[in-house]
Amino acid sequence: MRLYDTLARKTKDLLPIDGQTFRFYCCGPTVYGPAHIGNFRTFVLQDVFRRTLETSGMRTLHVRNLTDVDDKTIRESQRAGQSLTEFTNFWTVKFHQDCDKLQCLPPHIEPGAVEHIPQQVMMIEELIAKGHAYSSEDGSVYFNIASFPEYGRLSHLDERELEIGRTQAQRANADEYEKQSVSDFVLWKARRDEDGKNFWPSPWGDGRPGWHLECSAMIREYLGESFDLHSGGVDLVFPHHENEIAQSRCACGGDFAASWFHIAHLMVDGGKMSKSLGNLYTLEDLAEKGWSAMEVRYVLLSGHYRKPLNFTFDSLHAAREAMLKMAKAAQQLSAKAPADAVLTSVEFGLFQGAWDTLNDDLNTAGALGAIFTGLREAVKCEGLAAAKALAAFHRLLRALGLVLPEAEKSVTVPEDIIALADQRLAVRQARDWAQSDVLRDQLAALGWIVKDSKDSYELSQK
Ligand code: AMP
Ligand code: ZN
């Protein structure tokens, strides 16, 4: 597979450093509420990335963390009147349920920040010993960005107009800070009253780790000093990933990530979908409106990951239609394929174009288009050729993580057809047989057969 690398600013071939297993890390969710479908754009694309590598026969090691301690989790757990663990466990379970619905494979390792506090403390000690960090009067510890000349390479700080705040007065103590200010960032936050019971001991006094540190510590634990790829949404490039690089390269040496994979945002009405803007949709919100998680997944795959994708309900309608079309084609193919066809081939055949497109910088949108091109030819196949085409089609669907609806069951009856059929039921109940026949003919002309029962009807397509 070829993929665009944010650091090198070019598309590169992806090969595992150790020649065997492609080892990658994804920044996971902050578990303080339901993840929204914007978050899931990132997680779904990371899932397709993994599935595509695995479909091509590569072994993977996928590590994704859970942020279960930071400013937000502490604040919200207190609002909910729960302990931090109780609160974050609840939202972790919910996150896993949503991932399952979206067919996202569970990562091989899913470490949490709280259970890795000793490793984080150790990393801070090393950074202080090597002259990259200093403690302040209140018992907090900061990373000194002036001590790391490479700081800013990932986000190309040198090409941006930024407010450089390198003095101690301007350093950042909050977990998330303004994109336009560059400053020393916090590694250990001294205990404050508002933290309640959420503090841990350290050589600098009670407190808790800064948010950026957890990923560096967990990456070291599970992937070592050098690994194949690191990923997250574009908002993480600066400061989060920049800070991770600084911490890890200074504490451990090593190259850290060989490639960086960043996913552009899901937008609503031209703005970023985010909790703080209150313009978000969760899977649950959409399920209430009648949309399935698979339809949401299809929408998330319908744009290239390097471009922002605008979420609309029209795109959900289009996803539903496209998946029904796919399901219908699959049904036609399976009716023509011999039941006893045993296929051992891993050729993509008519779907080679779709597979190549997917491997060319994870172009999911292009691959979906190419699947339809493949299907138009595939449905003309008979016998063994139909079986082969069906197998290749399914292989691609697995790489995309799409499960199709069953064609017959999922026929949705348009509202205007239901209105006509309801009207007909009413006239039948009024014993107006002539009008009932007129309406039956109208429905037939629109492609629908109506079967009467005593107080109801059944519609099927001609
Ligand atoms: P968080 O739970 O806020 O830590 O975010 C989890 C992941 O979702 C991170 O990789 C973010 O970069 C990503 N993310 C947040 N908002 C969006 C969005 N609107 N579109 C795509 N990814 C997002
Ligand atoms: Zn991270």
Ligand with minimal distance to 257 CA: 2
The greatest distance separating any two alpha carbons of the chain, rounded to the nearest whole angstrom, comes to 93
- Could you tell me where the beta strands, DSSP code E, fall in 264-399? 266-268, 271-272, 309-310
b/e burial code for range 23-52 (CB count within 10 A of at least 16 → b): bbbbbbbbbbbbbbbbbbbbbbbbbbbbbb
- Residue 142: what residue type? Y
Stronger pLDDT, 171 or 19, i.e. the higher one = 19
Residue 34: CB within 6 Å of ligand 1?
no
Residue whose token pair is 């037939």? 444
Average pLDDT over the chain, rounded to an integer:
91
b/e burial code for range 427-453 (CB count within 10 A of at least 16 → b): bbeeeeeeebeebbeebeeeebebeee
pLDDT digits (tens, 9 = 90+) for 394-442: 999 999 999 999 864 545 677 788 888 888 988 998 899 999 999 999 9
**274 pLDDT higher than 90:** no
Query: Rounded distance, CA 146 to CA 150, Å?
Result: 9
Q: Where are the domains of the chain?
A: 2-263, 268-400, 415-461
Residue 44: CB within 6 Å of ligand 1?
no
Report pTM: 0.86
Total residues found in the chain within this entry: 462
**179 pLDDT higher than 70:** no
Question: Is 131 exposed, middle or buried, given 0-12, 13-18 or 19+ CB atoms closer than 10 A?
Answer: exposed
Res. 169 pLDDT band, cuts 50 70 90: very low
CA–centroid distance, residue 309 to ligand 1 (Å): 13
Residue 135: CB within 6 Å of ligand 1?
no
Question: Per the omega criterion (within 30 degrees of 0), is the bond before 239 cis?
Answer: yes
- Alpha helices (runs of H) in 102-145, residue ranges in sequence order: 117-129
Q: Which two tokens stand for residue 397?
A: 């669907």
Give the alpha-carbon dihedral of 330, 332, 336, 342, to 10 degrees.
10
**What pLDDT does residue 322 have?**
97
Mean pLDDT, rounded, for 87-92: 97
CA 311 to chain CA centroid, Å, is 14
Backbone CA torsion sign across 98, 104, 106, 107: negative
Residue 41: CB within 6 Å of ligand 1?
yes
Query: Rounded distance, CA 403 to CA 324, Å?
Result: 11
CA 359 to chain CA centroid, Å, is 18
Query: Rounded distance, CA 248 to CA 257, Å?
Result: 10
Nearest CA to ligand 1 atom 14: 39
- Residue 375 in contact with residue 369, Cβ under 8 Å? no
Residue 272: CB within 6 Å of ligand 1?
yes
**222 pLDDT higher than 90:** yes
Residue whose token pair is 């079986």? 387
What percentage of the chain has pLDDT greater than the value 70?
93
Name the class of domain 2-263. Answer: alpha beta
| Angle between helix 352-359 and 383-400 (nearest 10) | 20
